[in-house]
Amino acid sequence: MISITENSFPVGKYLVSPLSRLTESGDYSASISLRSGRGMASHDRVFRLLPRFATHHAALRYAAREGRALALQHGVA
């Protein structure tokens, strides 16, 4: 199983990285990485999302939307 990330983007002080992974059943799962800080002071949180998707691109689009919403909801922007 290979995780694929594309198109990381900043939201306030965070870098949001949508992730997609091909599962054993042949569908795709979505995850989000939220990173803040730099170097030794960096912090990274990874969130796994529950829906499964038929395509890699659908999983990435969903992860990007959810990542932006999560960052904005928690006032990180």
Tokens representing 40 are 């030794």
pLDDT of residue 65: 97
| Token pair for 50 | 């529950």
Predicted structure pTM score: 0.83
Which structure tokens are listed for 22? 């091909």
pLDDT tens digits for 13-43?
889 999 999 999 999 999 999 998 888 888 8
3-state secondary structure labels for all residues of 42-70: CEEEEEEEEEEECCHHHHHHHHHHHHHHH
SS3 call for 29: strand
Residue 76 has pLDDT above 50, yes or no: no
